[in-house]
């Protein structure tokens, strides 16, 4: 058995600076949204990305039944949304009522004030310990080339590149 505890692993990986996204999905017409920094590009042809999702999140259950999801890459100004959408025990419904958003072609919510957005259809779901790796085929993507202000997560804190 490995001597690496969850605390050790979390501490080590906290030194890997990432961007911050909001991932969204739909279940029975309701939006489920959560903050995620595990989003990674996987393949360009076909276009695939992944997100690692804890099995005990509401989002995990919802994406399993809907099969479609959105990714919104947040700017620094998206920090309140990131904080809200990672708060345990928030109401299941109306999670996005305070986060301005629009709908993509798959119907999933995309944050208005995002650096870039993607819409994905789940192509594989891999079991990975207490998480699942959700791989999605990207069916649409948009990026705002004028933006230069990503929200960054580093050592368990939000920061910026400036």
Ligand X SMILES: Cc1cc2nc3c(=O)[nH]c(=O)nc-3n(C[C@H](O)[C@H](O)[C@H](O)COP(=O)(O)O)c2cc1C
CA distance 120 to 141: 9
Whole-angstrom distance, CA of residue 32 vs CA of residue 91: 10
Range in contact with ligand X (rule: CB under 6 A) among 6-14, 28-36, 116-124, 134-142: 28-36
Which spans in the chain are helix H? 6-13, 58-66, 79-84
Find the part of the chain contacting ligand X (CB under 6 A) among 5-13, 34-42, 107-115, 134-142.
34-42
Alpha-carbon distance of 133 to 43, in angstroms, equals 15
The region of 48-56, 100-108, 112-120, 135-143 touching ligand X under the rule CB under 6 A is: 48-56
Site map (CB under 6 A) of ligand X, residues 54-93, x = contact: x--xxx--------------------------x-x-----
What residues pair up with 122 in beta bridges, in sequence order?
Answer: 136
**Cβ nearer to ligand X, comparing 54 with 103:** 54
Q: 12 vs 6, 57, 134, 151, CA distance in Å?
A: 10, 23, 23, 20
Q: Is 38 in the site for ligand X (CB under 6 A)?
A: yes
Residue 52 within binding range of ligand X, rule CB under 6 A? yes
Residues that bind ligand X (CB under 6 A): 20, 34-38, 52-54, 57-59, 86, 88, 153
């Amino acid at each position: 058995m490995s001597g690496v505890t969850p605390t050790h692993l979390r501490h080590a990986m906290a030194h890997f600076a990432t961007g911050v996204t909001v991932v969204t999905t739909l279940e029975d017409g309701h939006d489920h949204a959560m903050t995620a920094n595990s989003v990674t590009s996987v393949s360009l042809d076909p276009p695939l990305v992944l997100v690692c999702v804890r099995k005990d999140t509401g989002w995990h259950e919802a994406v399993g039944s809907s099969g479609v999801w959105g990714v919104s890459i947040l700017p620094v100004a998206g920090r309140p949304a990131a904080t809200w959408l990672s708060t345990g025990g928030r109401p299941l419904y109306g999670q996005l009522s305070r986060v301005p958003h629009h709908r993509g072609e798959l119907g999933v919510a995309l944050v208005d004030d995002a650096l870039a957005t993607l819409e994905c259809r789940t192509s594989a779901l891999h079991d990975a310990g207490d998480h699942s790796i959700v791989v999605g085929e990207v069916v649409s993507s948009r990026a705002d080339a004028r933006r230069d202000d990503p929200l960054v997560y580093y050592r368990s804190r939000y920061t910026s590149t400036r």
